[in-house]
Amino acid sequence: MVTSVGYTAQELMVAAAAREIHDGEVVFVGMRLPLIAFALAKRTHAPNAVGLFENGIVRDEPSRELLYTMGDPPNVVGAEWCTSLSNIMCLLAQGAVALGFIGGAQVDRFGNLNTSYIGDPCAPTTKLPGSGGATDIASLSHRHIIIMEHERRRLVERVDYITSPGFGDGGDWRARVGLPRGGPAALITTLSVIRFDPQTKEAYLDSCHPHSSVEEARAHTGWDLKVAPTVHMTAPPTEAELQVIRAIDPQGFWTHV
Amino acid sequence: MVTSVGYTAQELMVAAAAREIHDGEVVFVGMRLPLIAFALAKRTHAPNAVGLFENGIVRDEPSRELLYTMGDPPNVVGAEWCTSLSNIMCLLAQGAVALGFIGGAQVDRFGNLNTSYIGDPCAPTTKLPGSGGATDIASLSHRHIIIMEHERRRLVERVDYITSPGFGDGGDWRARVGLPRGGPAALITTLSVIRFDPQTKEAYLDSCHPHSSVEEARAHTGWDLKVAPTVHMTAPPTEAELQVIRAIDPQGFWTHV
Amino acid sequence: MPSRKLMSMPDAVAAFIPDGASVALGLALESLIPFAAGHEIIRQRKQGLTLIGPISDILFDQLIGAGCVSRVIAAWVGNVSAGLAHNYRRALEGDKPSLVVEDHSNFSIALALRAGAMGVPYLPTRSLLGSDLLRSNPHFRIIHDDGVPLVRVPALAPAVAIVHTQRADDQGGAHCWGNLGISEDAALAARQVIVIAEEIVPSSVIRSDPNRVLLPAFKVCAVVHEPGGAHPSPVQGHYGRDHAMYHDYHQASRTAEGFARWQSEWIDSVSGRQAYLSRLGAGRWADLSRPATRTPRLAAAVDYGY
Amino acid sequence: MPSRKLMSMPDAVAAFIPDGASVALGLALESLIPFAAGHEIIRQRKQGLTLIGPISDILFDQLIGAGCVSRVIAAWVGNVSAGLAHNYRRALEGDKPSLVVEDHSNFSIALALRAGAMGVPYLPTRSLLGSDLLRSNPHFRIIHDDGVPLVRVPALAPAVAIVHTQRADDQGGAHCWGNLGISEDAALAARQVIVIAEEIVPSSVIRSDPNRVLLPAFKVCAVVHEPGGAHPSPVQGHYGRDHAMYHDYHQASRTAEGFARWQSEWIDSVSGRQAYLSRLGAGRWADLSRPATRTPRLAAAVDYGY
């Protein structure tokens, strides 16, 4: 849905996600919005970023056509490397991947993500598809970004199941369970950008999108969401950014939903 | 050296080694005489045997030219698969390899083989090249054949160093140390074919080459070599076999030494 | 020597996929998915299969909906471009699941198969630590190496792997290209492999490029010539992905009755892949396989000479 | 973007192989051995290197004889078609070895590098059990998994891997073919990779066939154009193995003095690979690289189009 400001929430999320990619970084791309964010970053501030796809593909330039899956033939043409999933995962495991993107159905105040079971895993009310590579990305990349709808049933006090570890119950939990590095750097929702306290690892509202507000973001969060003293408005996508996004997804398959 | 009988000891050893290959078997070939034995077997009684080379090559027909190393370009042309060493070793480790060939500097009464150190490994009198893939072949193939010169300094009571495990100190030693299968099926020397007792795993003289004798074989062995009640003469290479061998190695690079 | 490996899809499925078998498929992830083989498994009403794969882009869902499956060992089961997998959900939601699921990540399923290929009981990883996969899949265990916690991923050795390839010879030599996912790990781990090929070519074609070969031919139990056999998934150099098919399936399978109708139309009432492609329609198939915009993109020449 | 990776062999060795570095090389086994790089390392009088590889067909022996090496982590050091490695023997025989050796098998060195690539402290194997490699290499240890003994092969992550390839672009994309041994495992495990290429080609050539690429370009720190740089080892599609060179070296290096003369003639008194090939003689080089019998053997065409 295009808002009165002339761009969709998804387009803003893509722009926000793109800004998380630094030039020269090796990025685990994933599908949907992150794929477009990667292409946007490449064409703006991060021309030397490299994208990895877990099916075995490494690209330093985005595919010329919109992808519906990472296995679409245009994603292979012009790739820098087409290899095995294991080899790609090795790069992740050895610490060569700066940033990864994942999405999910439930996230909690410590950035743990659930894409597996709603309810009791032995008798779930909803069976979700599962991890795919998300558990690996959340376990092994230096930082990761979570992208999802901002709804009270999705942003919950505690996820029913940790598919992709965030900061567990906070503090030094990741080190305690043996994870070598990482953790979520941001949760980009349809309403806001949420980050995590460097010490406690608890989520806090960092910025609200122009079409939303602190009150709305908090009202749609299932716990008492902290707010940064420096809370501000998420920078909207620029005209130049929108042009790139719309050139990539002219039908709005992923960005007009 | 061609003996008065019209073939060299190496040619007889090649023929004897070829007879150890059964039709349809997957064989870890190795270089020098085994390579020729594999080609001979393929062209005679084992047309469906498949050869593996640890540098990454699988062939079901021998190279058209004599090889000096398994990495010579003719060994790649016409190969069934050219892959990684790891993938080849996986086939060995999972039990897909029926038979492997190895050679060495010292072997003992339980078929343990040394290609690493003569003397104390911390201050060796002779440093040999080491394992290469031999330890893996001796550890993981279903059976293996050892090919070497029959000399008293080589056939010793106990090797200075076990590079490639045979039957250790006999009996169920392999199972006790955790090896999943295997052990030497035969030791083919310049004088004889030596096999191993099914229970005790001790070496015994099974056959003597036509140019040798039980006495000579025992005299050139560094322990009191047992002799099978059925000891017999090793079948000499047939004319047909010699023709194949000499077509493969016309200069006698490996078979006239 | 005459090939005893080249056979029809019905014969290959009948011979090498008994009820109760563990079958690895969908190993390249979103491309090269052996839909034709899966549909034949459904037509033959196989029972009690264990499916093994990284993600499955609707083929697992179809096999589950048709009642062929009792266990799924996978990282993700859904519909990549459209959403959830409805049969999979129906089989698992509520307190009487009709299916056992062993949760994996993409890396852990690759490691499990690699362990099977390597003949070791497990491989270690630092992935999955802190995740609930370690709780819901009782086969995972934490082990300690000099105080460092690692996840013990137990080995998997499927009875059969099914791989869809661009071309194969009648002995089992096969070339495939594009994204391959865990195809190599799974083919090496499996005791036997069924190779499906868009084209059957002379062995000399396969042997002209041994680095492009997927697995040793002695692992191959059957070679099946099945053009279009991966539709609606894509095959690099042959046809693109039929996105609409995935979306139509997503809608059709929202109810069990809807799935039953879909199964009847696309699986049970077609005799095989040629009939399926006819039902799809020549125009639609031509658009996918020979679009007007298609230009060949040939790999640079490689000389193996000496 | 302009390449900062394409550089001369002297510059690449000077920049990326500091004294004391761990260097993986000779990774394809008997072919694609980076002799030109090894000789430049010798000319620059590098010290205290750790060499990592599966087997070494005389290059390790030359580096050892020239005094560049303090440690060897390998499965086999010798001269494949001629016999023992004399400098290696001289360095190790007797009670004052000048070299530390960590004994491996070919499989265990591959596993050690794969563990390094995978970011785990070790990989397990059932190979080596019962062998004395477990005694002479103190880094191996037996671990038990549910009572099953396994050998713990500790991870290796070389500072640099050197790979010789048929062709590369100036960004580090590279194609190689023929037998590749542990090239992929080592390139993934190494922190940086020096790519040597017979030919420098446009990136479009490399990207026309991404399945043929050896490693991701972001691991590559230097690309060196060095035709003939693997002689006397073979390069599929470019030149055969110079067997005579191995045999001549075997004779020449029987004494330390003989090796010193060989080093002076073939390494120290030539400025680089072009001078080395001139010393070899145009006729001998032409026989290896363009023998009268040579016919191109092209890989069958592969279409990545859609």
Which of C215, C241, D204, D74 has its CA nearest to residue B116?
Answer: D74
In a domain, D297, yes or no: no
Q: Is C186 a residue whose pLDDT tops 60?
A: yes
Using DSSP's 3-state secondary structure scheme, residue D189 falls into: helix
Q: How far is D189 from chain A (nearest CA, A)?
A: 8
Before C234, cis peptide (omega within 30)? no
CB within 8 Å: A84 and C104: no
Q: Is there a contact between A130 and C77 if contact means CB atoms under 8 Å apart?
A: yes
Nearest to D151 by CA among B103, C110, B159, B139: B139
- C-alpha to C-alpha distances, A7 to A11, A42, A234, A251, nearest whole angstrom: 6, 21, 14, 14
Chain C interface, best mutation among B28, B66, B91, B136, by max C CB count within 10 A = B91
pLDDT digits (tens, 9 = 90+) for B221-237: 999 999 999 999 999 99
A2: pLDDT strictly greater than 60 = no
Query: Which residues of A fall within a CB distance of 8 Å from C135?
Result: 121
Question: How far apart (Å, rounded) are the C-alpha atoms in residues C8 and C223?
Answer: 8
Structural domain count of chain C: 1
What is the bridge-based pairing of β-strands A117-120 and B106-107?
Answer: unpaired
> Do C102 and C137 form a contact (C-beta atoms < 8 A)?
yes
What pLDDT does residue D117 have?
Answer: 98
Pairwise CB contact (< 8 Å): A116 & C80: no
Residue D274: pLDDT above 70? yes
Nearest C-alpha in B relative to D98 = B123
| E strand intervals along B22-142 | 26-28, 50-53, 57-59, 81-82, 99-103, 106-107, 113-114, 117-120, 123-127
With contacts defined as CB-CB under 8 Å, which chain B residues touch D136?
116-117, 121, 161
pLDDT of residue D2: 52
B214: closest CA of chain D, how far (Å): 31
Confidence band (pLDDT; 50, 70, 90) for A32? confident
Rounded Cα–Cα distance for residues A178 and A172 (Å): 10
Q: Which of A61-70, C133-142, D123-132, D193-202 has the lowest mean pLDDT?
A: A61-70
Query: Known catalytic residue: A241?
Result: no
| pLDDT 10s digits, D25-38 | 999 999 999 999 99
How would residue A66 be classed by pLDDT, with cut points 50, 70 and 90?
A: confident
C85 in contact with chain A, both atoms CB, cutoff 8 A: yes
Mean predicted lDDT score pLDDT of chain C: 96
Residue C133, CB half-sphere, CA atoms under 13 Å: how many?
35
For residues C41 and C162, give the distance between their C-alpha atoms in angstroms, rounded to a whole number. 12
Helix (H, G, I), strand (E, B) or coil at A49: coil
Provide the 8-state DSSP code for C16: H
HSE toward the beta carbon, residue D211, CA cutoff 13 A: 25
Structure confidence at residue C95 (pLDDT): 81
Closest CA of chain B from D203, distance in Å = 24
Percent of chain A with pLDDT over 90: 88
- Per-residue pLDDT tens over the stretch A130-146: 999 999 999 999 999 99
Amino acid letter at A218? R
Pairing of strands A113-114, A57-59: unpaired
Identify residue D137 by its one-letter amino acid code.
Answer: N
Q: Best residue in C118, C185, C204, C205 to probe B by mutation, most B CBs within 10 Å? A: C118
Residue in D118, D119, D173 closest to A80 by CB:
D173
User: D205 vs C126: CB contact, 8 Å cut-off?
Assistant: no
Confidence of residue D270 (pLDDT cuts 50, 70, 90): very high
Chain B nearest C-alpha distance from C304 (Å): 7
Question: Catalytic residue among A20, A25, A54, A241, which?
Answer: A54
CATH for B9-248? Answer: 3.40.1080.10
Over residues D91-113, the mean pLDDT reads: 94
Mutate: best of C171, C175, C207, C209, partner B, most B CBs <10 A: C207
Instruction: Say yes or no for a CB contact (<8 Å) between C119 and B95.
Output: yes
Given an 8 Å threshold on Cβ–Cβ distance, is A80 in contact with D116?
no
CB contact under 8 A, D306 and C201: no
Q: List, by residue number, the catalytic residues of B.
A: 54
Interface A-C: count of C-beta contacts within 8 A: 194
**pLDDT for the residue B215:** 97
In a domain, D39, yes or no: yes
Helix ranges restricted to H, C141-254: 183-189, 203-207, 243-252
Alpha helices (runs of H) in chain B, residue ranges in sequence order: 9-19, 33-43, 73-76, 85-93, 134-140, 173-177, 214-219, 239-248
Tell me, what CATH number does C48's domain have? 3.40.1080.10
Contacts of C55 in chain A (CB under 8 A): 129, 132
Q: Do A50 and D173 touch (CB under 8 A)?
A: no
pLDDT at C94 exceeding the cut of 90: no
CB A126 within 8 A of CB C89: yes
Which residues of chain C neighbour B76 with C-beta distances below 8 Å? 210, 304
User: So what's the pLDDT on residue D96?
Assistant: 84
pLDDT confidence tier of residue D3, bands split at 50, 70 and 90:
low
Is residue D238 one of the residues assigned to a domain?
yes
Q: Is residue C249 part of a domain?
A: yes
Say if CB D81 and CB B68 are below 8 A apart.
yes
Answer yes or no: is C1 within a domain: no
Q: Are D86 and B139 in contact (CB under 8 A)?
A: no
What are the chain C neighbours of D299 within 8 Å (beta carbons)? 208-209, 212, 299, 301-304
In the numeric block, the tokens 């266990």 are attached to C71
Report if residue C250 sits inside a domain. yes
In B, minimum Cα distance to C303 occurs at B77
From residue D237, alpha-carbon distances to B73, C203, D24, D254, D295 in Å are 8, 21, 24, 33, 10
pLDDT tens digits, residue range A149-202?
A: 999 999 999 999 999 999 999 999 999 999 999 999 999 999 999 999 999 999
Q: What contacts A246, CB < 8 A, 6 or more positions away?
A: A252, A255
Residue C178 Cα to chain centre, angstroms: 15
Single-letter amino acid code for the residue at B25: E
Distance from chain centroid for Cα B179 = 19
User: For A70-128, what is each residue's pLDDT tens digit?
Assistant: 999 999 999 999 999 999 999 999 999 999 999 989 999 999 999 999 999 989 999 99
Please tell me the predicted confidence (pLDDT) of residue C2.
52
Interhelix angle D273-280/D35-43, rounded to 10 degrees, is 110
Q: Kind of pairing, strands C69-78 and C49-57?
A: parallel
Paired tokens of B168? 């250790």
Q: Taking residues B20-33, what's their average pLDDT?
A: 93
Q: Which residues of C touch A132 (CB under 8 A)?
A: 54-55, 75-76, 105-106
Q: How far is C77 from chain A (nearest CA, A)?
A: 5
What mean pLDDT is predicted for residues D120-141? 98
Distance from CA of A169 to the nearest CA of D (A): 25
Mutate to test the interface with B, among C192, C211, C213, C218 (most CBs of B within 10 A): C218
> How much is the mean pLDDT over chain B?
95
pLDDT tier for residue B87 given thresholds of 50, 70 and 90: very high
Q: At what angle do helices C243-252 and C256-263 cross, to 10 degrees?
A: 130
What is the Cα–Cα distance from B248 to A119, expressed in whole angstroms?
A: 70
Task: List alpha helices for D55-209, DSSP H.
Answer: 59-65, 86-92, 106-118, 133-136, 183-189, 203-207
Q: For residue range D288-298, what is the model confidence (pLDDT) as tens digits?
A: 997 666 788 99
Give the pLDDT confidence score for residue D149 in this predicted structure.
Answer: 98
Q: Checking DSSP bridges between strand A106-108 and strand B81-82, what pairing results, if any?
A: unpaired
Contact check, Cβ <8 Å, D237/C304: yes
> For A180-184, B119-123, B185-189, C102-106, which range has the lowest pLDDT when averaged over its residues?
B119-123
Interface with C, mutate which of B55, B83, B85, B99 (most C CBs under 10 A)? B83
What is the domain extent for residue D217? 9-120+155-289
Contact A85, A56 (CB under 8 A): yes
Single-letter residue type at B132: G
Mean pLDDT of the region C134-146: 97
Report chain C residues whose CB lies below 8 A from the CB of D123: 123-124
- What residues does each domain of chain B span? 9-248
Count of CB pairs separated by less than 8 Å, A with D: 62
Distance from CA of A148 to the nearest CA of D (A): 30
Band (pLDDT 50/70/90 cuts) for residue A213 is very high
Instruction: Calculate the alpha carbon distances from C260 to B253, C249, D33 in Å.
Output: 70, 11, 60
Q: Note whether residue C24 is domain-resident.
A: yes
Instruction: Determine the distance in angstroms separating the CA of D142 from the nearest CA of chain C, rounded to an integer.
Output: 12
Residues on B contacting C at a C-beta cutoff of 8 Å: 26, 47-48, 50, 57-58, 60, 72-74, 76-83, 87, 90-91, 93-96, 140, 180
For B137, list phi and psi in degrees, rounded to 5.
-65, -45
Amino acid identity for residue C154 in this structure: P
**pLDDT of C247-291, one tens digit each?**
999 999 999 999 999 999 999 999 999 999 999 999 999 999 976
Which of the four pLDDT bands, split at 50, 70 and 90, describes residue C3?
A: low
Beta-bridged to residue D150, according to DSSP, are: D143
Give a yes or no: residue D126 inside a domain: no
Q: Which residues are registered as beta bridge partners of D213? A: D175
User: Given pLDDT bands bounded at 50, 70 and 90, which one contains residue B64?
Assistant: confident
D92 touches chain B (CB under 8 A): yes
- Where residue C292 falls among pLDDT bands split at 50, 70, 90? low
Partner-chain contact A89 C182, CB within 8 Å: no
Closest chain D residue to the Cα of C166, Cα to Cα: D302
Q: Does C158 touch chain B (CB under 8 A)?
A: no
Would the CB atoms of D234 and B121 count as touching at under 8 Å? no
Flag whether the pTM goes above 0.95.
yes
| Among the listed residues B52, B32, B50, the one whose alpha carbon sits nearest the alpha carbon of residue B42 | B50
Asked if chain A contacts chain B via 3 or more Cβ pairs within 8 Å, the reply is no
What is the reported pLDDT for B254? Answer: 85
Please state whether at least 3 CB pairs lie below 8 Å between chains B and C: yes
Over residues D116-135, mean pLDDT: 98
Is 80 exceeded by the pLDDT of residue A5?
no
Q: Which regions of C135-204 does DSSP assign to beta strands (E)?
A: 141-145, 148-154, 160-168, 174-175, 192-200
Q: Which of C120, C189, C218 has the CB atom closest to B26's CB atom?
A: C218
| Whether C181 and A53 lie within 8 Å, measured CB to CB | no
Lowest mean pLDDT among A65-74, D127-136, D243-252: A65-74
Contact C34, C17 (CB under 8 A): no
Task: Specify whether the CB–CB gap between A27 and A52 falls below 8 A.
Answer: yes
Interface of D with A in 206-265 (CB under 8 A): 207, 210-211, 213, 215-219
Contacts 24+ apart (CB under 8 A), C137-143: C137/C102, C137/C103, C137/C104, C139/C102, C140/C108, C142/A178
pLDDT exceeds cutoff 80 at D42: yes
Prediction ipTM score: 0.97
pLDDT of C27 higher than 60: yes
Per-residue pLDDT tens digits for B125-160 = 999 999 999 999 999 999 999 999 999 999 999 999
Q: How far is C274 from chain A (nearest CA, A)?
A: 23
